[in-house]
A and B are shown apart, each in its own frame.
Chain A
């Protein structure tokens, strides 16, 4: 059995009175791509924030390489190899493309930042043309690629992506996922959270999150049938 890189055990996340995530168990094996599907308000972002360390779960544990990281600060988790590409990208618009990438050195995990940046350049050729431009001038798709590249520059073991397809046209989304396939090939484990089915091509496994709980799990083929998913999302007609 493959090593469980990440294990989330019974995690609940609450904001004040609102329970965003209730008692969720997920696990990600090294080298695979786990896709979490769910409509809005399902709690996907809260769960990702808990894994990345941005919020503290109200209960439950998170284990990385078998060790609990519940008390580990966000920036230290990056040093251990977990990097989040946040929803909405959150690029540094006051910095250029190159500067956003160079921040990969911040966690001091990556001793060979320049090589990583070269790799990013190869994986996302469109960025090469905008190297010295301010991140604010990029198109939506380019920004998404830069956000992913920025995370890659930290040389992560586990890359978490929160709704990478938001606001992007379908063709662009397909392009982004092609690049992500290359990233997966490079040996990076992926945990992708999405609202739509664009990630299914890439997925090793799929789980569906709704109202803060996991409602179904299975291989990606199961969910390619749009009706199955529609029921899960839009409620049984």
Chain B
């Protein structure tokens, strides 16, 4: 049970990385990017190409992934610029579902239908924490999540950029009137979330597999999780994502593997019903 929970926390950490990118983008732009998971998949596949095919060192691979995802983020922002400014959620959601399909199709055409394997970054034996085993890769994932959280916390609480982000998220027009270049904030948010997703993909791929639906499957769980935690709140997103991870792994152990999905999603729906605004959430849309 402990092992399961520890594994669940790590899985939840992976989900949290996805959730964070998704929520940060939404907070700053009020836009749902359903292709976010596929950005993660891109990172995994690109990582495979760089490390396995081209035999590059992994730090270089990460740099290249950052560059590639920056381009991807800018491209996505360009495509959806009108939608974002008009705040048309529905159209944006549909468009990004389409974008996700395109990305997956391109990946499949480039890499073929077979799942690939990305070896772990560090080849060392597992570590024991509180009596449970953790592979180094899992440690890296957890470590990365913590680093990201710390960095984000520092940015929001202690830097001018964070101030600008908070102001823009609250009232973009008022921010503009104060001289904030809101177009840049939007662009930066897209790039930031895309880069985070790509790097996250590279890091989690060894534990999962470099597969076409890697991000696609994760993003929906992560999004549902972030709603449970309370949408709009970063802390909520992380907590919710971790809950999903823990629930999923424990479900596999406690309950027949077939019931895994039901248990997880059923739990989520239950939480929705009990606490619709989520554990930490603020109202997403006010019902009048």
Interface residues of A (CB under 8 A from B): 52, 54, 74-75, 78-79, 83-84, 86, 90-95, 99, 102-109, 150-151, 154
Contacts and interface: CB of A to CB of B under 8 A. Distances in A.
Contact of B176 (A75, A92, A150): A75
A78 B176 CA distance: 9
Interface residues of B, number: 17
Contact of A106 (B170, B171, B180): B180
B171 A109 contact: no
Given A92-B166, A95-B167, A86 B179 contact: no
B114 interface: no
Nearest to B177: A84
A105 B174 CA distance: 14
Contact of B179 (A54, A99, A107): A107
Contacts of A95: 163, 166-167, 170
B138 to A, nearest CB: 36
Contacts of B170: 92-95
Contacts of A106: 164, 175, 178-181
Contact of A103 (B164, B173, B181, B182): B164
Interface of B: 160, 163-164, 166-167, 170-171, 173-182
B64 to A, nearest CB: 32
Contact of B163 (A52, A78, A99, A154): A99
A106 B180 CA distance: 5
A92 B166 CA distance: 9
A177 to B, nearest CB: 22
Given A54-B173, A90-B171, A150 B178 contact: yes
B164 A54 contact: no
A94 B173 contact: no
Contacts of B171: 90, 92
Contacts of B167: 92, 95, 103
A166 B174 CA distance: 18
A37 to B, nearest CB: 23
A117 B171 CA distance: 22
Given A75-B182, A92-B170, A94-B170, A54 B176 contact: yes
A202 B174 CA distance: 26
Given A75-B181, A78-B179, A94 B163 contact: no
Given A79-B179, A106-B180, A154-B179, A90 B166 contact: no
A210 to B, nearest CB: 26
Most chain A beta-carbon neighbours within 10 Å: one of B174, B178, B180, B182:
B178
Nearest to A77: B179
Contacts of A108: 179
A92 B174 contact: yes
Contact of A78 (B160, B173, B178): B178
B178 A54 contact: no
Most chain B beta-carbon neighbours within 10 Å: one of A90, A91, A150:
A90
Contacts of B166: 92, 94-95
A52 B175 CA distance: 13
